[in-house]
Amino acid sequence: MNQSVVVITGASSGIGQSLAFAFGRTGAAIVFCGRKADTLTSTADALTAAGITNLPVVADVSVEADMKRLMDETVARFGRIDILINNAGISMRSMFVDADPEVIRKVMDINFMGTVYATRYALPHIMKTKGSVVGISSIAGYKGLPVRSGYSASKFAMNGFLEAIRIELRYSGVHVLTACPGFTASNIRFSALDSQGNSTGDTMREEGSMMSSDECAEHILKAVQQRKRELILTGQGKLTVFLNKLLPGLVDKLTYNTLAKEKDSPLKRA
């Protein structure tokens, strides 16, 4: 039997890197991309040292040609694609009234269009293997989060896209998973964009109190193995999604109050 092949976007750090190791430990070959050659190389070296077959590719998910090349190089090297994990993402932190619309466009290009491009060029191969398409979304794709309007918009778009193709592929044998980690310790908040598109370089939350990226990756691995349609992680995340269906006004208030307590939040404290 041929070795299964997993393609992961944005896997040189954080959840993506943890996913590379989690799926790699199952015996899969890992193909992963990122924009920085140095961090890709260091991750590749660590995977190789762990005995995991891997192929690093310098690529930008927001560039359609890069995603086509990523899939072409994967098939040229391994002959197949079994799983695509759309993990690459960026956040933003700004009141909408202050935000340059180009910041929201950039977030959409990476988080949403990156998923569209990668899935478009991987899907014909995944249909042959009856494999999986995975999107690493967020609770922000179920509940709009203040000060993160562009990020929430991109994740709502991702959720709708994945739901639509899941129904399209209903009789194809392809599995589609929407995975929502909740607040997870990763580097996404450190690289969040401000109102003018500059990286903040800081986090506004207590990273040490969150679910680790390794734990998150193990949950996602199991969800793929079990071919689940949806995975919502953390008690806070599950409660938010559940209550939002029943008491959306209350969840609006709770969401505002919670995010108003973040470091340097522009929201007024209630």
d(CA 15, CA 144): 22
Which CATH architecture is the domain 5-235 placed in? 3-Layer(aba) Sandwich (3.40)
- Give the predicted TM-score (pTM) of the model: 0.91
Residues forming the active site: 151
Angle subtended by helix axes 101-108 and 149-168, to nearest 10 = 30
User: Which of the 8 DSSP states describes residue 3?
Assistant: P
pLDDT of residue 98: 94
- Alpha helix (H) residue ranges in the chain: 14-24, 37-49, 64-78, 101-108, 114-129, 149-168, 213-225, 235-246, 248-260
d(CA 161, CA 168): 11
Cβ(115)–Cβ(161) below 8 Å:
yes
pLDDT of residue 199: 74
Cα–Cα separations (whole angstroms), residue 9 to 28, 31, 187: 16, 8, 15
pLDDT of residue 45: 97
pLDDT of residue 192: 86
Looking only at Cα atoms, what is the longest distance across the chain? 60
- What are the residue ranges in the chain where pLDDT is below 50? 189, 205, 207
Mean pLDDT, rounded, of the chain: 92
What are the residue boundaries of the structural domains of the chain, listed by start? 5-235
Cβ(10)–Cβ(21) below 8 Å:
no
d(CA 212, CA 14): 9
pLDDT of residue 250: 95
What is the three-class DSSP state of 201?
coil
Per-residue buried b or exposed e for 176-196, using 16+ beta carbons within 10 Å of the residue's own CB:
bbbbbbbbbbbbbbebbbbbe
pLDDT of residue 189: 46
pLDDT (tens digit per residue) in 8-49: 999 988 999 999 999 999 999 999 999 999 999 999 999 999
pLDDT of residue 122: 98
pLDDT of residue 110: 97
